[in-house]
């Protein structure tokens, strides 16, 4: 399988960033038109994507699908009619799922309905109240501290009603029913890294997967976080438990500060092994997080009784960068370079899974490589080093270790072993067992 060139990666990064820019202004929540609009825009790029809905009140394991939330506008005005905050200016200004309100209050009472980030005085925090009815506003601490005594007009024109929760899925079939899960979430308002980088990456990975000769089947899932993955599992768990060999939650993949891996609950699945194998080559200083540091949909996929082999891939992990869940997580935080780097890692991961398997040398003792054009016919100093990767691969191709384990053992990136394996198979020296 051909590795993507630097030019292809750069172009993908530019296109992904431009798509994120289009998605950024949309007001999203667990439910509602913002989610439908965002999924519809993704479907324009991936026409095969199926957009599903689950009615409010539906029981999904221990949870219930909430009412749909719709917000038209929201603001706070002072006595002179100046808008202190306005949902139209920044959709983080309203606590998510706020119930409607139209009240005049004094400053003292107003402060009860305002949320700020005390340690970051210039940012607007992201706050939600999905399952407990309340209303409120978010602003920077500097804005709040500048408020003066007087009467303020609070308006939130919203409604909660029995509607639907939307999600999107796509099953890309391969030659086998063995599945790889790619899951991300779409439920946050305007936050670039935490919200948009995941769906954008999954969109480009999906279209890349459509271009390759697939051995494996790929399950693409775009859901509202937590309730969405729970709902999805409630409908698809039996098939996923039967077929899933690896899976990844993709989130916060747009900045270019670092790379991060959060292990599965068991920590030693095929997903863990292939992701860390690739990261050791691409960015050896990558950060590793325990499953105890979990916080996204990996919680649901790894839950006891579900037990899917799913780990997380991030650039800067959620909760670990200062802009997280604030207005500072804007388009300036992510970059084409950051997105293309994540794309590079995941295409290598998926390419590795496609070729991975258990191979065995089919002749006794060391095969004669020279007569097959695989070894220099003239022996001199330095020659052995040139073919050491090939000979080391052969040395461990005993049918007991898969390629990922061999790659880790001999210290050669799996992406470099793939063409060697292909040559050895073509030469009739390697048999793929499973």
Domains and CATH numbers, the chain: 6-66+164-355 (3.40.630.10), 71-161 (3.50.30.90), 358-432 (1.10.10.10)
pLDDT average, residue stretch 224-231: 98
Across 147-161, 364-378, 387-401, the highest mean pLDDT is recorded for 147-161
Res 376: pLDDT: 64
For 84-105, what is each residue's pLDDT tens digit? 999 999 999 999 999 999 999 9
Model confidence at 348: pLDDT above 70: yes
Determine which of 32-46, 306-320, 359-373 has the lowest per-residue pLDDT on average.
359-373
Per-residue CA distances from 427 to 366, 368, 431 (Å): 14, 11, 10
Determine which of 8-17, 176-185, 267-276, 360-369 has the lowest per-residue pLDDT on average.
360-369
DSSP tag of 111: G
Res 385: pLDDT: 59
Per-residue CA distances from 361 to 307, 356, 381, 409, 433 (Å): 34, 15, 27, 17, 10
Q: Give the DSSP H/E element, type plus range, for residue 360.
A: strand 358-361
The torsion angles phi and psi of 194, rounded to 5 degrees, stand at -65, -30
pLDDT average, residue stretch 311-335: 98
pLDDT band at 375 (very low <50, low <70, confident <90, very high): low
Neighbours of 22 (CB within 10 A): 12
pLDDT band at 423 (very low <50, low <70, confident <90, very high): confident
Q: Pick left, alpha or beta for residue 365 (phi over 0 → left; psi -120 to 50 → alpha; otherwise beta).
A: left
Q: State the average pLDDT for the chain.
A: 94
pLDDT average, residue stretch 233-242: 98
Res 429: pLDDT: 86
Max CA-CA distance within the chain? 91
Helix/strand/coil for 237: helix
**Separation between Cα atoms, residue 138 and residue 130, nearest integer Å:** 16
Model confidence at 177: pLDDT above 80: yes
Model confidence at 395: pLDDT above 60: yes
If you compute the radius of gyration of the chain from its CA atoms, what whole number of angstroms results?
A: 25
Model confidence at 382: pLDDT above 60: no
Contact 123, 142 (CB under 8 A): no
Res 17: pLDDT: 98
């Amino acid at each position: 399988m051909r590795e993507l060139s630097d030019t292809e990666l750069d172009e993908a990064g530019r296109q992904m960033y431009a798509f994120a820019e289009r998605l950024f202004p949309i007001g999203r929540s667990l439910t509602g038109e913002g989610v439908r609009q965002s999924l519809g825009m993704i479907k324009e790029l991936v026409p095969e994507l199926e957009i599903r809905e689950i009615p409010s009140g539906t029981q999904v394991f221990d949870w219930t699908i909430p009412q749909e939330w719709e917000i038209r506008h929201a603001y706070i005005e002072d006595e002179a009619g100046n808008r202190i905050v306005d949902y139209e200016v920044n959709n983080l200004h309203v606590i998510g799922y706020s119930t409607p309100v139209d009240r005049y209050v004094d400053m003292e009472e107003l402060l009860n309905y305002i949320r700020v980030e005390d340690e970051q005085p210039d940012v607007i925090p992201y706050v939600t109240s999905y399952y407990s009815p309340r209303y409120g506003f978010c602003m920077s601490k500097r804005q709040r501290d500048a408020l003066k005594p007087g009467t303020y007009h609070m308006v939130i024109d919203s409604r909660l009603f029995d509607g639907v929760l939307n999600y999107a899925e796509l099953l890309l079939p391969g030659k086998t029913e063995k599945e790889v899960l790619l899951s991300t979430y779409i439920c946050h308002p305007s936050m670039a890294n935490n919200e948009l980088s995941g769906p954008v990456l999954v969109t480009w990975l999906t279209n890349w997967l459509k271009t390759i000769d697939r051995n494996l089947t790929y399950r693409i899932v775009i859901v509202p976080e937590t309730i969405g993955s729970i709902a999805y599992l409630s409908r698809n768990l039996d098939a996923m438990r039967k077929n899933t060999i690896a899976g990844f939650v993709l989130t916060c993949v747009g900045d270019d500060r670092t790379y991060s891996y959060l292990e599965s609950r068991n920590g030693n699945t095929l997903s863990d092994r292939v992701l860390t194998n690739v990261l050791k080559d691409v960015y050896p200083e990558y950060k590793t997080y325990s499953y105890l540091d979990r916080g996204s949909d990996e919680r649901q996929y790894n839950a006891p009784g579900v037990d899917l082999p799913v780990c997380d891939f991030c650039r800067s992990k959620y909760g670990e960068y200062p802009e997280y869940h604030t207005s500072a997580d804007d388009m300036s935080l992510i970059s084409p370079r950051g997105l293309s780097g994540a794309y590079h890692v995941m295409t290598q991961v998926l390419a590795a899974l496609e070729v991975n398997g258990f191979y065995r040398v089919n002749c006794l003792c060391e095969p004669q490589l020279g007569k097959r054009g695989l070894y220099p016919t003239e022996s001199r100093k330095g020659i052995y080093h040139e073919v050491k990767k090939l000979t080391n691969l052969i040395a461990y191709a005993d049918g007991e270790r898969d390629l990922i384990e061999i790659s880790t053992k001999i210290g050669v990136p799996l992406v470099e072993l793939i063409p060697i394996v292909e040559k050895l198979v073509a030469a009739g020296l390697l048999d793929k067992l499973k």
